[in-house]
Amino acid sequence: MGFTVLYLSLLVLIPLSTLVLCAGRLSWEELWHTFSASRTLAAYRLSLGGALIAAGGNAIFGLLIAWVLVRYRFPGRRVLDALVDLPFALPTAVAGISLTAIYAPTGVIGGWLAGAGIQAAYSPLGIIIAMAFVSLPFVIRTAQPVLQDIDREVEEAAATLGADRLQVFARVIFPTVFPAVLAGFAMAFARAVGEYGSVVFISGNMPGRTEIVPLLIMTRLEEYNYAGAKAVALALLVLSFLMLLVINLLQAWARRSAPV
């Protein structure tokens, strides 16, 4: 217990508490002026909104990918399963450059989207794509073991009682895997909110339009506005903590409601 608390304190608690103490030295007027600035609010909306959309999309398609990897056997399945972890190992700067090259108006996918009147790179859409890329493995890796542990006999019993495939999934499989998907959603959201390396390349970094909160913090530091950077970081810390707390409460409720 002592080693656990010491390790967590050195890596997590002490740095975060230092941020709170440093930001706490600011007056309420300074904090409110920083929080209420239009540029700051736009960055918060983009970071939190983009992270929610990216994590929500990954919750749906991540579950689908996990289902295919667990329930189907096809050539290249092991390769596809290994590629799921690629965003973990790939440097975020490399991911950002690759995504920008592909989704830019001169890229393969970006050129096709531009022809349809859709701008991916240097827009909020590009930010969501980058966030989804770096956070996808969390949902897959949390849902995959649960799907593997589901007893096929339970599904067969439901089928013998007259349930079709959709009813089996909705009433037997999904309630069991939902807490894991919710946990993956929470981790994907946290990863997307704090993402910087891949987003900074594809976003365009336009203040008020495509500027995320981590980039705003870096901008404040480069301007030697350390108080503003601490205030922005503190607000992001509090908002992220509250959203993760809500998600964890929902996850606990889903576990209690799941069938035994």
Q: What's the confidence (pLDDT) of residue 154?
A: 79
| CATH of residue 21 | 1.10.3720.10
Tell me the C-alpha to C-alpha distance, in Å, between residue 245 and each of 63, 64, 146, 187: 22, 26, 23, 12
Q: What's the confidence (pLDDT) of residue 257?
A: 65
On the question of pLDDT at 260 being above 60, the answer is no
**Token representation of residue 176:** 């069991």
Number of domains in the chain: 1
Q: How far apart are CA 36 and CA 3, in angstroms?
A: 41
| pLDDT digit string, tens, across residues 192-209 | 988 888 888 888 888 888
DSSP 11: I
| pLDDT digit string, tens, across residues 205-258 | 888 888 898 888 888 888 888 878 888 888 888 887 887 787 778 777 766 765
Stated pTM of the model:
0.84
For residue 164, the Cα-to-chain-centroid distance in whole angstroms is 33
Q: What's the confidence (pLDDT) of residue 141?
A: 92
Tell me the C-alpha to C-alpha distance, in Å, between residue 220 and each of 19, 147, 214, 217, 246: 15, 45, 10, 5, 30
- The average pLDDT across 165-181 equals 84
| pLDDT digit string, tens, across residues 26-80 | 777 777 777 778 888 899 899 999 999 999 999 999 999 999 999 888 898 889 8
- The average pLDDT across 138-143 equals 92
For the chain, give the number of residues.
260
Answer for the pair 127, 212: CB distance below 8 angstroms, yes or no: yes
Residue 131: CA atoms inside 13 Å, Cβ hemisphere, count?
33
| pLDDT digit string, tens, across residues 146-167 | 988 887 777 778 778 777 788 8
Domain span at 124? 2-257
